[in-house]
Amino acid sequence: MADERKAFLLRTDPLLWREIEKWSADELRSVNGQIEFILREAVRRRRQSFRGAETPEAPDSGAPASEA
């Protein structure tokens, strides 16, 4: 079974890259794994903030909400 992960190029500031390298080493992850972890946590927090919002139709994806 082929890995279905999406590959993409990431350009970042060298100082930020070094901080992510240190963070990933502290948590025994690869830099790629650490970036994936950071992104998953950000998406999870975003979804939680939508669940707490007053509007019942908060989008789960990056797609804009449709206007009725």
pLDDT tens for 21-41 read 999 999 999 999 999 999 999
Q: Quick check: is 60 in a domain?
A: no
Instruction: Tell me which residue range forms the domain holding 36.
Output: 14-51
Longest dimension (CA), the chain: 48
Q: Quick check: is 41 in a domain?
A: yes
Tokens of 56: 């019942």
Q: Which of 48, 58, 12 has the alpha carbon at shortest distance from 20?
A: 12
Domain count, the chain: 1
Q: Could you tell me if 57 and 65 are in contact, meaning their C-beta atoms sit under 8 angstroms apart?
A: yes
Q: Could you tell me if 12 and 19 are in contact, meaning their C-beta atoms sit under 8 angstroms apart?
A: no
Provide the whole-model pTM: 0.66
**pLDDT: which is higher, 49 or 56:** 49
Tokens of 45: 């927090």
The CA distance from 31 to 18, in Å, is 10
